[in-house]
Amino acid sequence: MTKIGYTLSLCLSLLFAQAQNLQAYQLYDSSGVAIRFDQMVQEMAAADVVLFGELHNNPICHWLQIELTKALHAQDSSLILGAEMLERDNQEALNLYLADSIDQKGLDTLARLWPNYQTDYKMLVDFAKDSGLTFIATNIPRRYARRVYKQGMESLDSLSEAELAFIAPLPMPFDASLPGYQAMLEMMGGHGGENLVKAQAIKDATMAYSIAQSLEPGQMLLHFNGDYHSKDFEGISWYLNQYAPDLKVLTLSTVLKSQVEKPTAEEAAKADFILVVDEDVTTSY
């Protein structure tokens, strides 16, 4: 074989090998070092709270969420689940479903479920139901967040005591200078002003308060939320540090990259664990 022929053969072999080892995702730690799923589970099992920052339309996120739930439950049968996708005033309906007092049709009727609930979140709720786990609806009812966006925080002063029970205690801690909130303002071109940021913050605060309020000593809570709500240790993570600073909180952030390549130092620093998903993975909507 000629030198050119050998080189061509080697290149084709490498390309074939690469094609046979396609990866849809890879997990990394905050130093950018690739880790195995079981390694991540062992570290997470020692936490009080795990915040799983998902991309709402990413099937790898949703698959990994149910696998992580199963693995953590195997480590701790008292595991609690919680999610941004369910609002606090829907907790009663959710409890009825978990107790098998209503069926899925009943939950569809009584609760405000996200359009992708059936494909992306039902399996998590059903796992809780089948395993006898508590599942917390953590988010603020959207009508109140919308009210803050349109009329400001002071618009909540007229709410009844019963309505305020669905929101983090007011006045809540607030830092408009946090990089994530500043980035939101820049992305929106300043549209909405500080009310836009406050509407986001009251969601973060309410989810964090719900988590802190639900935990008993020795329990662990796995929470599912959009990546924006916990990346860079801001959002829910920042508010948990205000409400319950003694809790050990670990975060996972999802990043899309070509061929699940190693995250940059900046990307790796976004969370305790980085889920890198191949950017060519088909989205669910």
Residue 216: other Cβ atoms inside 10 A: 7
pLDDT of 79 reads 97
User: If DSSP codes are grouped into helix, strand and coil, which group holds residue 50?
Assistant: strand
pLDDT by 10s per residue, the chain, length 285: 554 444 444 444 434 444 457 899 999 999 999 999 999 999 999 999 999 999 999 999 999 999 999 999 999 999 999 999 999 999 999 999 999 999 999 999 999 999 999 999 999 999 999 999 999 999 999 999 999 999 999 999 999 999 999 999 999 999 988 989 988 888 876 566 789 999 999 999 999 999 999 999 999 999 999 999 999 999 999 999 999 999 999 999 999 999 899 999 999 999 999 999 999 999 999
pLDDT of 56 reads 97
Distance between CA 149 and CA 110 in Å, rounded?
26
pLDDT of 142 reads 97
What letters, b where the CB count within 10 A reaches 16 and e where it falls short, cover 54-80?
Answer: bbbebbbbbebbeebbebbbeeeeebb
pLDDT of 14 reads 39
pLDDT of 34 reads 97
Q: What angle do CA 70, 71, 73 make, to 5 degrees?
A: 65
All domains of the chain in start order, with CATH: 24-278 (3.40.50.11550)
pLDDT of 12 reads 43
Distance between CA 191 and CA 199 in Å, rounded?
13
Identity of residue 228: Y
Tens digit of each residue's pLDDT (9 = 90 or more) over 165-208: 999 999 999 998 898 998 888 887 656 678 999 999 999 999 99
pLDDT of 227 reads 98
Name the E strands within 99-234.
135-139, 221-226
Count how many residues are written for the chain.
Answer: 285
What letters, b where the CB count within 10 A reaches 16 and e where it falls short, cover 100-128?
Answer: eebeeeebeeebbbeeebeebbeebbebb
CA dihedral 251, 213, 219, 46 (to 10 degrees): 30
